[in-house]
Structure 1
Amino acid sequence: MSGYTSDNANGGRRWTDGNRVELLENGEQFFPRVFDAIREARREVIVETFILFEDKVGEQLHAALCEAGRRGLKVDLLIDGFGSPSLSPEFISGLTSAGVKVRVFDPGKRFFGQRLNVFRRMHRKIVVVDGGLAFVGGINYSADHLLDFGPQAKQDYAVALTGPIVSEIHRFVLHAIAVSGGKGASWFRRRIKEGASAANAPAGSAQVQFVTRDNRRHTNDIERHYLAAIRSARQRVVIANAYFFPGYRLIKAMRRAARRGVDVRLILQGEPDMPIVKVAASMLYHHLLHAGVRIYEYCERPLHGKVALADDQWSTVGSSNLDPLSLSLNLEANVIVRDKAFNQTLWERLDALMQHSCKRIEASDLSEWSSWRLVRSFFIFHLLRWYPSWVGWLPRHAPKLEPLDTPKPQGGGATQTDAA
């Protein structure tokens, strides 16, 4: 059993009892569940996503949201200005004409064809339907989350949640819209009050925390949950993460756990969607392997997951990578789950990856230490130790949500976006 008991890793938030949590793997499991939930909605649908493309998946979401809007439901779609930069006017107007409220997080203009607002991104992936069903994870609305996309199809995870925790997630997404101000803000504040008075009945036995990262009050909550779980682990820690370049504290916690006999395993990208991802992670291999951490590279296709487990109860699924963008810049959302059955399910899925789709990295696979490697290692470790302070110097502007009612042409079709 996990020794993890901290109720204060997320600014004093406590565990919410009585929830049902279901693991959804890849688009094949995720998209049908979300689209069916939207089609069956009776009052309200709220969708937040980093990436929305005009491909077959984006068109299915578009159709489901438009149909819900035409039925008179309150339908809200929040996309990120960097992650979803090239939606056509026809795509947007189809939504707005059906009554869907479309908002863009931190929209930015192009400079010589390039977007400059690459930091402080809204990286969350959340759906709430009728205040009683929620989806949280790392899966965007794009066809590259389906196996038939080909060799570049992504391996990823999300969860479907019912129970009291959904009321908290519902209030959060309503608040995210209300704090932006402008037209309709007072209406959303009324919806928050309505949601606060509507507690969902227990639906299962899982304890859950909904944990977010922002650039104000909750700057390191997700990282602190990881640290607490790793430091208190007694049997095993498994982390599957797409973009792995964590801070000094996380590296130190993994090394110490492995040295005290915990089975610490990392599943990282072996066939990355961006080569720099593998290069950055591999710089840490010597330090981790020599401390006893086991490293597996997932080689079947690009890994996009952001999941982890500790011992036999603690698990997390969400949008947060373990890299500088997610830990120090982006707006993220994870769920932390304390439940043996869910932990076992996640372990079985990750163990299957390690057994059948990964290459285990051995110390003999790495090049020998050299003077240059020692110097490089010194600078990397100090970069990891101090980058949270350095990125804090970047502009902490108040990101805005811009309603899209009469979209102007943005040019081009959807393009792939990095670090999704």
Structure 2
Amino acid sequence: MNIAVEHIATDQPPDEAKARDLDYGWQSGNQVQLLENGEAYFPRVFDAMRAAQREILLETFILFEDKVGHELQGILIEAAQRGVKVVVSLDGFGCGELSAAFLAALADAGVMVQMFDPASKTLGIRTNWFRRLHRKIVVVDAEVAFIGGINFSADHLGDFGPEAKQDYSVQVTGPAVADLHHFALAQSGRQVRTRRGWRRRQQRPSPWATDSGEGLVRLIYRDNLQHRDDIEEAYIYALSKAKKRAVIANAYFFPGYRLLREIRNAARRGVQVQLIMQGQPDVLLAKLAARMLYDYLLKDGVVIHEYRQRPLHGKVALVDDDWSTVGSSNLDPLSLALNLEANVLIRDRAFNQQLYDSLETLSKNHCQVIPAKQKPRLWLWRLTVGFLVFHVMRHFPALTGWLPAHKPRLKPFESQAHD
């Protein structure tokens, strides 16, 4: 049997009117719930899918054929069989190991499966490393939405063992769900092209709401067209307005100079700035790169915590008492310059406090504080390696620009037949 798996192109530009429609602003009157790790996330999102009446839209970077993946598969099949429209968008790299049988079971039940930039292996190695669909979004019946950093894989559960990831997502209900629904629909391959030469929207809403009311939510995203730096700009702007505290917990931390400078400047003017980063990394290069920035930040009063209990996978931050962000974007060259990402900005005191309490528990009980002045052993060797890592990471996006990139277009993709 052949499985119809579409190649989706979430970089392809919409027309100008559609672009304005997708330029979402702040929405008030929302309810936002923090979901920490798979233990909180999977039951909530699976219950919402089981209760779906009309539509399930799902985007994820990773879906594995483990206990979480099989449970998700069963729920989606059951939903499609009872008449729910189900659209599943997967990244061709992160989901590249899914079997034909797994995808066929979904397709046979009526699930529309879409793959972003699928590519077969070359000499046993996958080559579609860059410009990934890294978002994690679920929207059910246009009434409830989930967005964050949690993939559909068992390594987000504590019983996975020492390599289980520490991560966050949010459940959103209220007017902002319409924006997330609109965005997810537009990214599922139903876009029309814009006229040549149009590049950037005008009058984007500020990443800091004019009012500090409760339940304010705004969707922001990064693509490789009109919104290349929206997420980075939101961090920079929020930090520039910080007066009391700022906490950033991010798995892969190697931002550009402007964001680094804003972090340092906040600390210089007396803001209590804390960074929570990986101490038990799943990618050693990421830890080496982040440590190259420690001296620059520590000397101006930034407090750096390394989370040591298990790999940190979170991408969250808060500023003062009511601004927060949760999403899929790391603060490294991949997320800030190449991948397709999505975060929500939240202005809500109760949510801000909930996130702060969670991160404070993490930093106090499971982190090691990095001393402000510490000369490591083998410092000359570390300095040499650090210099190389620093410059590779700094120039990484430019280097990848020389690599061939897929052209954004819709086309059918036929998977390998199976019995």
Q: Please give the TM-score of this superposition, normalised by the length of structure 1.
A: 0.84
- Classify the secondary structure of the residue corresponding to 1:22: strand
Match of 2:204 in 1: none
**Residue 340 (structure 1) aligned with residue 349 (structure 2):** yes
Match of 2:175 in 1: 164
Match of residue 275, structure 1, among 271, 284, 287:
284
Q: Deviations over 1:378-408 (max 9, x none)?
A: 887777776666655555543455656x631
Aligned length in residues: 378
CA contact (8 A) 2:24 2:179 kept: no
Mapped to 1, the partners of 2:391 and 2:308 lie a distance apart of 30
Match of 2:274 in 1: 265
Match of residue 78, structure 1, among 67, 70, 89:
89
Match of 2:299 in 1: 290
Mapped to 2, the partners of 1:167 and 1:147 lie a distance apart of 33
Match of 2:100 in 1: 89
CA contact (8 A) 2:87 2:188 kept: no
Q: For residues 3-42 of structure 1, what are the structure 2 equivalents within 5 Å?
A: 13-42=24-53
Q: For residues 42-121 of structure 1, what are the structure 2 equivalents within 5 Å?
A: 42-121=53-132
What is the CA distance between 1:280 and its match in structure 2?
Answer: 1.2
Q: For residues 144-293 of structure 1, what are the structure 2 equivalents within 5 Å?
A: 144-179=155-190, 205-293=214-302
Mapped to 1, the partners of 2:283 and 2:384 lie a distance apart of 25
CA contact (8 A) 2:217 2:347 kept: yes
Mapped to 2, the partners of 1:54 and 1:213 lie a distance apart of 28
Q: Deviations over 1:340-385 (max 9, x none)?
A: 1110000000000011010001034442897887788788777777
- Superposition CA RMSD, Å: 2.5
- Classify the secondary structure of the residue corresponding to 1:79: strand
What is the CA distance between 1:26 and its match in structure 2?
Answer: 0.2
Mapped to 1, the partners of 2:90 and 2:412 lie a distance apart of 11
Q: Deviations over 1:224-273 (max 9, x none)?
A: 00000111101111000001111111111111111111111100000111
Mapped to 1, the partners of 2:271 and 2:395 lie a distance apart of 27
CA contact (8 A) 1:82 1:118 kept: yes
State, as a whole percentage, how many aligned pairs show the same letter. 56
Letter in 1 for 2:339: N
Structure 2 CA distance for partners of 1:362 and 1:222, relative to 1, 3 Å? same
Q: Please give the TM-score of this superposition, normalised by the length of structure 2.
A: 0.84
CA contact (8 A) 1:299 1:357 kept: yes
Q: Deviations over 1:45-74 (max 9, x none)?
A: 011000000000000100000000000110
Mapped to 2, the partners of 1:93 and 1:65 lie a distance apart of 13
CA contact (8 A) 2:252 2:332 kept: yes
Structure 2 CA distance for partners of 1:62 and 1:366, relative to 1, 3 Å? farther
Q: Please list every run of 5 or more consecutive structure 2 residues that lacks an aligned counterpart in the other structure.
A: 1-21, 193-212
Mapped to 1, the partners of 2:246 and 2:345 lie a distance apart of 14
